[in-house]
Every structure is written in C-alpha cells, then in structure tokens.
Amino acid sequence: MAGVGNVDLRRKTNYLIVDSKTTVKQIEDTFKEFTTREDIAVVLISQYVANMIRFLVDSYNKPVPAILEIPSKDHPYDPAHDSVLSRVKYLFSAESVASGRR
C-alpha cells in the first residue's frame, strides 16, 4: 500500500511495503488504519495485496479515502477482482434496471 511517502514527527508512515515477511494481519491492520486516518485521501494497493484482504477491501464503502487497486509488476491484473470496477458495473446495471433499460 502506498501514500506520498510521508513520515511524520512521531515516525508514523503513510505507506506499507509488503514483502514475503509481511503478515496478512499487518496488511489488515494497516488497511484499517489508513482508511480511518483523516490525512489520507487515496489508498493505493496492488491487486495482489488487495486479494489477501479481499473481504476488507470489498466491505469498505466510504468515499474517502478512495481505494484504488493497481497492477503489480509481478502479478497480472485481473479485472474480475477489481473492487472499483465491480462497483461501477453494479451502478450501471442498477441504473439500467431503474430506467427500464437492460
């Protein structure tokens, strides 16, 4: 996950570098922290990492911070697992049903 890469005076960061030693619990805790901080407007997360905590990413429904899944250089992008794309498809299909179009 990434932000602009800031470290504040209390040595608190707005990013997490995920590697083979990073636990799913650390990713979950960081995601929860980032989505509740007022100084973060967008959370960038690779789709590969998002899949590790898919239940959290899919259940997150606030507009700010926005969650943006990005491709990883080591793992191919799969649009079927993109939470933003899924929500857009849902909104367009709901809009079509509401207006009588299919």
Q: Which residues, in sequence order, are CB contacts of 42 under 8 Å at separation 6+? A: 3, 65, 66, 67, 68
Domains of the chain: 7-99 (3.40.50.10580)
Q: Tell me which residues of the chain have a pLDDT lower than 50.
A: 2-3
pTM above 0.85, yes or no: no
Q: What is the pLDDT of residue 14?
A: 85
Q: DSSP 3-state assignment of 43?
A: strand
Q: What is the pLDDT of residue 43?
A: 93
Q: What is the pLDDT of residue 91?
A: 74
Q: What is the pLDDT of residue 51?
A: 94
CB 3 within 8 A of CB 15: yes
